[in-house]
């Protein structure tokens, strides 16, 4: 759905579109780094940075466009196949970058939100796994 003429996408000039598109690509690169690095501390840090960058980009674009949508409860995606969900987030971030570069900023915001929610699900899953591992390590073994 193209909302660009009604939403104020024209308020953002070409130089800013290039910068914002670059920010989305940068987040996608961080996710790709996490995918290639496996489930390591550095990989998780890269996902945190991508998540924070995506959240910031959404806030900046919403502010610049004066884009408000009512709050809605969104169920986080299943994080069962952790590599697959990161690859999906990377692909959505790259598509968002393409939309921004094309001047379809309002159309990119829902896509950025999808990517952010995927990254959030990954990070929540990582945290739960770390907590479980910590609990298992502290439990005395029963022999």
Q: Please report the pLDDT score of residue 71 as a whole number.
A: 60
Torsion 34-92-88-125 (CA) sign: positive
Residues of the chain with pLDDT under 50: 1-6
Q: How far apart are CA 28 and CA 137, in angstroms?
A: 34
Take residue 78 and report the two structure tokens written for it: 């299943």
SS3 state of residue 40: coil
Secondary-structure breakdown of the chain: helix, strand, coil percentages, each rounded to the nearest 5: 75, 0, 25
Phi, psi (5° rounding) for residue 141?
Answer: -75, 145
Which pLDDT tens digit goes with each residue over 50-76? 999 999 999 999 999 987 776 666 666
Q: Please report the pLDDT score of residue 69 as a whole number.
A: 75
What's the whole-model pTM score? 0.81
Q: Please report the pLDDT score of residue 39 as a whole number.
A: 75
């Amino acid at each position: 759905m193209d909302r660009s003429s009604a939403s104020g996408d024209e308020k953002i000039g070409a130089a800013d579109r290039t910068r914002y598109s670059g920010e989305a690509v940068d987040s996608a690169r961080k996710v790709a780094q996490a995918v290639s690095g496996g489930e390591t501390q550095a990989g998780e840090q890269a996902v945190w940075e991508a998540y924070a960058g995506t959240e910031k980009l959404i806030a900046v674009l919403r502010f610049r466009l004066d884009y408000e949508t009512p709050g809605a409860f969104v169920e986080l995606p299943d994080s069962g196949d952790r590599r697959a969900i990161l690859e999906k987030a990377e692909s959505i971030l790259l598509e968002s970058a393409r939309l921004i570069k094309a001047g379809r900023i309002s159309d990119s915001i829902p896509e950025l939100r999808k990517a952010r929610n995927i990254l959030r699900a990954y990070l929540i899953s990582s945290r739960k796994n770390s907590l479980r591992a910590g609990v298992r390590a502290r439990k005395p073994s029963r022999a």
